[in-house]
Homo-oligomer: A and B are copies of this chain.
Amino acid sequence: MLLKRWLVGNPLKTAQAAHQRLSKRLALAVFSSDALSSVAYATEEILLVLVPASLAFAHFSIPISLMIILLLGILTLSYSQIIFEYPDGGGAYIVSKSNLGEWPGLTAAASLMIDYVLTVAVSVAAGIAAITSAVPALFPYRTVLGVMAIILVLLVNLRGVRESGKVFAVPTYLFIGGLLLMLAAGTYQLLFGQLMPAPAQNMATQTAVESISVFLLLRAFSSGCTALTGVEVISNGVPAFRPPEPKNAAITMITMALVLGTLFLGISTMAYQLGILPKDDETVISQVARAIFGEGPLYYLIQISTMSILVLAANSAFAGFPRLASLLARDGYMPHQMELMGDRLVFSNGILILGVFSCLLIILFNGDTHALIPLYAVGVFLSFTLSQIGMVRRWLNKRGPHWRKKIAINGIGAIATAIATTIIASTKFIHGAWIVIVLIPILILMFQGIHAHYQAVSEQILLDRRGSRPPMPQRNIVIIPISGVNRAIIRAVDYARSRPGEVRAVFVDVDPEATARLEMQWAQWGCGVTLIVLPSPYRSILNSVLDYVEAILEKEPDTWVTVVLPEILPARWWQNILHNQRALLLKASLLFKDRVILTDVPFHLTR
């Protein structure tokens, strides 16, 4: 408990949950870390598909980046419409469920849940890669470092991120500023001759004869699409903006898209100009920064701010996942525990689950970004598609002003994202996307199963409308399992005698001598309570008592059996291991029997 307080902080009052409203500048920092941070790995992932096939293919990274930026533009327009239509926050789950129904809603929810886990794993892996690029000695420890980073983010989130805005602003703007400076310096050096753009182009001409397959291009496009993960985040956070919320959110989203597009295209071009190729132990960004800045402080600034914004991206999933889980729990698709706010006003259970699963991914994939990427983006693009289709459906039903234009925008969004989803799912299928494609229906079935269970429970516990009370057994037999005669046991017997019902003390015979001794003591202390001696051929006290209780329940269908357990409770917690855990086992076994009521009568030791 003390450990928990120290790690997590003191409980917060419900009244402390007041909303902090964000300016556009702070909101950009808070909501765009997920999207912007993906430029840290997107260019590299494109190159990693192209270059192993042929060095000559490196230049295809430029047109592919342009395609992705086109997709970004379409998405930004589409999402602006969602922002105005769902000012309370329009996640894919809500938009899909309210416009398309339960199954599409659950599909979006399942995709999102998987992608939150992947956002944490991919971002942390890429953040650690930024560090190990600068300090290669740490490379062998990337899995451990990744797990430690997740645990840190987890603890911060269990405390509740209250000072969010300012904490986010510094690394986000450092990252944007640092990368822009790097691109500007690089361009200057390329133009005025301090840097040689040679090697990459040389390579290109050298083997230019080879022709590229469409599949390879599409696969490179799929990998690059990870740059777009997180662009929807602003549309979930509309209520956090200052009024007029939708307008401010839309402006912020467009700004974010411009920054993202600039950085992504800039890095892709610069990497190509400098002839930089992916390496196992150094990221492309790190190579670009090293080429432009050398090993100076600016280089380290780039690496550190890259790591920071990636950690913030992971952090944003720790806000999104528990919120989605609580929405699902509210609708009965996830365990009710997900809906409870912990004492720090955060959804602690969701945070813990996300932490566990993302750590698992980091461990399974050895903290390797490239291995995780094929799993990523499938879910994101599936939820994009469902949201856009949902919006088209909404406009069709609702009409309203400019509905045709709105349908056109979301329709183009739907078609573009559907195509992208298909490309990603098919080109990355064998590399890992199949895992996600298998998991989504499993999650949907789980949601449905939970829903059905809660439905069945609420029907079974519903009270009779005409006001008749549930029937109660008429008789009550009280059973006290005893192991001897002592103060704790006599206390329980006296408690039982003071209430209605027939009382029977039950003793299990394992040693005839002990039984004879007990019978004599009972004559003195039993106060007339019947003593029943049970045989125990297998020496199992637990089973003998259970059998006896079951026999009563079977013989007398209209009877409660109240089992009164005398419990000796030691003065110090560790002394519990010195006491027989029989009572605990008996309780665990009896709890699941109908018509059995368990009563603990404690006897507290003082030393």
Q: Identify the closest chain B residue to A15 (Cβ).
A: B537
Given known A-B contacts A12-B538, A538-B13, A602-B594, A490 and B467 have beta carbons under 8 A apart: no
- Residues on B with C-beta less than 8 A from A580 are 336-337
Q: Please measure, in the bound complex, the distance between the C-alpha atom of A495 and the C-alpha atom of B463, giving whole angstroms.
A: 16
Q: Identify the closest chain B residue to A492 (Cβ).
A: B597
Q: Please measure, in the bound complex, the distance between the C-alpha atom of A599 and the C-alpha atom of B573, giving whole angstroms.
A: 22
A262 CB–B CB distance under 8 Å: no
Q: Please measure, in the bound complex, the distance between the C-alpha atom of A525 and the C-alpha atom of B466, giving whole angstroms.
A: 11
A209 CB–B CB distance under 8 Å: no
- Residues on B with C-beta less than 8 A from A597 are 495, 599-602
Cβ B510 vs Cβ A495 within 8 A: no
How many Å from the CB of A564 to the closest CB on chain B?
A: 9
A162-183 interface (Cβ within 8 A of B): none
As a 0/1 sequence over residues 284 to 305 of chain A, the CB contacts with chain B under 8 angstroms (1 = contact) are: 0000000000000000000000
- Residues on B with C-beta less than 8 A from A524 are 467
Size class of the A contact interface (CB-based, 8 Å): 35 or more
How many Å from the CB of A605 to the closest CB on chain B?
A: 5
- Residues on B with C-beta less than 8 A from A485 are 463
Q: Identify the closest chain B residue to A605 (Cβ).
A: B460
- Residues on B with C-beta less than 8 A from A467 are 524-525
- Residues on B with C-beta less than 8 A from A470 are 487, 490-491, 494
How many Å from the CB of A89 to the closest CB on chain B?
A: 21
A522-564 interface (Cβ within 8 A of B): 524-525, 536-540, 560, 562
Q: Please measure, in the bound complex, the distance between the C-alpha atom of A596 and the C-alpha atom of B462, giving whole angstroms.
A: 30
Cβ A472 vs Cβ B456 within 8 A: no
How many Å from the CB of A364 to the closest CB on chain B?
A: 21
How many Å from the CB of A116 to the closest CB on chain B?
A: 21
A397 CB–B CB distance under 8 Å: no
A581 CB–B CB distance under 8 Å: yes
Cβ B594 vs Cβ A454 within 8 A: no
As a 0/1 sequence over residues 458 to 480 of chain A, the CB contacts with chain B under 8 angstroms (1 = contact) are: 00111100010110100000000
Q: Please measure, in the bound complex, the distance between the C-alpha atom of A597 and the C-alpha atom of B500, giving whole angstroms.
A: 16
A60 CB–B CB distance under 8 Å: no
As a 0/1 sequence over residues 423 to 441 of chain A, the CB contacts with chain B under 8 angstroms (1 = contact) are: 0000000000000000000
A205 CB–B CB distance under 8 Å: no
A3 CB–B CB distance under 8 Å: no
- Residues on B with C-beta less than 8 A from A600 are 591, 597-599
Q: Identify the closest chain B residue to A576 (Cβ).
A: B592
Cβ A602 vs Cβ B591 within 8 A: yes
A517 CB–B CB distance under 8 Å: no
Q: Identify the closest chain B residue to A337 (Cβ).
A: B580
A8 CB–B CB distance under 8 Å: no
Cβ A577 vs Cβ B540 within 8 A: no
A457 CB–B CB distance under 8 Å: yes
- Residues on B with C-beta less than 8 A from A577 are 335
- Residues on B with C-beta less than 8 A from A602 are 591, 593-594, 596-597
Cβ A598 vs Cβ B599 within 8 A: yes
How many Å from the CB of A561 to the closest CB on chain B?
A: 11
Q: Please measure, in the bound complex, the distance between the C-alpha atom of A495 and the C-alpha atom of B561, giving whole angstroms.
A: 12
How many Å from the CB of A589 to the closest CB on chain B?
A: 11
- Residues on B with C-beta less than 8 A from A593 are 602
A402 CB–B CB distance under 8 Å: no
A486 CB–B CB distance under 8 Å: yes
Cβ A460 vs Cβ B14 within 8 A: no
- Residues on B with C-beta less than 8 A from A365 are none
Q: Give which listed residue, B499, B510, B539, B594, contacts A604 with CB less than 8 A.
A: B594
A488 CB–B CB distance under 8 Å: yes
As a 0/1 sequence over residues 475 to 518 of chain A, the CB contacts with chain B under 8 angstroms (1 = contact) are: 00000000001111011001100111000000000100000000
Cβ A578 vs Cβ B336 within 8 A: yes
Q: Please measure, in the bound complex, the distance between the C-alpha atom of A487 and the C-alpha atom of B499, giving whole angstroms.
A: 24
How many Å from the CB of A12 to the closest CB on chain B?
A: 7
Interface centre among A340, A453, A500, A575 (most CB of B within 10 A): A453
A569 CB–B CB distance under 8 Å: yes
Given known A-B contacts A472-B495, A538-B343, A463 and B450 have beta carbons under 8 A apart: no
A607 CB–B CB distance under 8 Å: yes
Sample (10) of A-B pairs whose CB atoms are under 8 Å apart: A337-B580, A463-B486, A469-B490, A469-B494, A469-B525, A472-B494, A573-B592, A591-B600, A597-B600, A597-B601
Q: Interface residues, chain A, CB within 8 Å of chain B?
A: 11-15, 335-337, 340-341, 343, 450, 453-454, 456-457, 460-463, 467, 469-470, 472, 485-488, 490-491, 494-495, 498-500, 510, 524-525, 536-540, 560, 562, 567-570, 573, 575, 577-581, 591-594, 596-607
* Extra inter-chain contacts (10) besides given A13-B538, A598-B600, CB under 8 Å: A12-B538, A13-B537, A15-B537, A335-B578, A453-B575, A460-B607, A461-B568, A462-B487, A467-B525, A470-B494
Top 3 nearest A-B pairs (CB, nearest first) are: A461-B486, A11-B538, A598-B600
